[in-house]
Amino acid sequence: MIRAIIIDDEQDIREINRRLITDNFSDIEIVGEADSVDSGIELIQTEKPQLVLLDIDIKGGTGFHILQKVHPYHFAIIFITAFNEFAIKAIKFSALDYILKPVNEVEFCTAIKNAVESIESKQIEAQVNNFFEHYEKKTQTKKIVLKTSDSIHLVDISDILYCVSDNSYTTFYIKDKKEIIVSKSIKEFESLLSVYNFFRPHQSYLVNLHCIDKITKTDGGSIILNNKKEIPIAHRRKQALLDVFDKL
């Protein structure tokens, strides 16, 4: 039986979360609830849960204040939040799970399943640390967490050469010649990586502009990366690519 707790200062949200877990997950037991930073810290330290549903904005501060007090993390985390674009972006960079208010049952169950799969992971500490680095802008060298079907990779964004789309899967090609396949669409990674000078010259590709060796103009145009990989440029994206490349 998986021991879980809910930390949220809205009683109706706690009740909804409890009901959804009871209705959908017979192997998860809610062993406690809290509504503030202090009571949340105490609950984690007392109950030693394996799964924590953690509201971002709570009494006495934020869920992040709790995480700063209870590491190392021996539990999986699901953030609960009203829409907070900056926090959600940092969460996505770290491949952590989150639930948006108002709670959608399908999204809730998906987040719970994903979090349960990561309970035995030894990478939760690295994921949370990476979250704080993005959220608090601690370093200039940024990393992204890539979750595959059987492992978690912490990758320097600057080491990503390019990404290739295959429907709902994205393959990352890294400078050390490693390939990492993630079950998320390239569109989601485009929104995360565009601020780090990644550009989508074609619907199937996302490219690190710093890894471009040259841009050819023959046969519609293509990108030659510094590892000699050739990537096509869609006609409608060509001028936008040249404009962005000129600004580097």
CATH number at residue 154: 2.40.50.1020
Whether residues 19 and 118 fall in one domain: yes
Q: Tell me, what's the pLDDT at 204?
A: 96
In the sheet with 160-166, reading across from the earlier edge strand, the strands are 179-182, 169-174, 160-166, 205-208, 198-202
CA–CA separation, 136 and 143 (whole Å): 13
- Average pLDDT of span 97-106: 92
Whether omega for the bond prior to residue 49 falls within 30 degrees of 0, making it cis, is: no
Domain enclosing residue 195, as ranges:
143-246
Q: Report whether pLDDT(121) > 80.
A: no
Whether residues 15 and 123 fall in one domain: yes
CATH number at residue 74: 3.40.50.2300
Q: Tell me, what's the pLDDT at 238?
A: 85
Q: Tell me, what's the pLDDT at 240?
A: 87
Q: Tell me, what's the pLDDT at 245?
A: 75
Whether residues 154 and 208 fall in one domain: yes
Q: Tell me, what's the pLDDT at 123?
A: 84
Residue finishing a domain among 93, 117, 135: 135
Q: Tell me, what's the pLDDT at 218?
A: 73
Q: Tell me, what's the pLDDT at 15?
A: 96
CA–CA separation, 241 and 209 (whole Å): 9
Question: For residue 225, which of 206, 244, 246, 248 has the smallest C-alpha distance?
Answer: 206
Q: Report whether pLDDT(84) > 80.
A: no
The residue ranking higher by pLDDT, 150 or 138, is: 150
| φ, ψ for residue 7, nearest 5 deg | -120, 105
Whether residues 216 and 119 fall in one domain: no
pLDDT in tens, 47-80: 999 999 999 999 999 999 999 999 888 899 999 9
What pTM, to 2 d.p., does this model score?
Answer: 0.86
Whether residues 37 and 75 fall in one domain: yes
Q: Report whether pLDDT(241) > 90.
A: no
Residue finishing a domain among 135, 152, 174: 135
Q: 3-class DSSP state for residue 147?
A: strand
List alpha helices for the chain, DSSP H: 11-24, 37-47, 63-70, 85-93, 105-117, 124-135, 186-193, 238-246
Of 125-129, 136-140, 192-196, the one with minimum mean pLDDT is 136-140
Whether residues 6 and 119 fall in one domain: yes
Number of domains in the chain: 2
Q: Report whether pLDDT(7) > 90.
A: yes
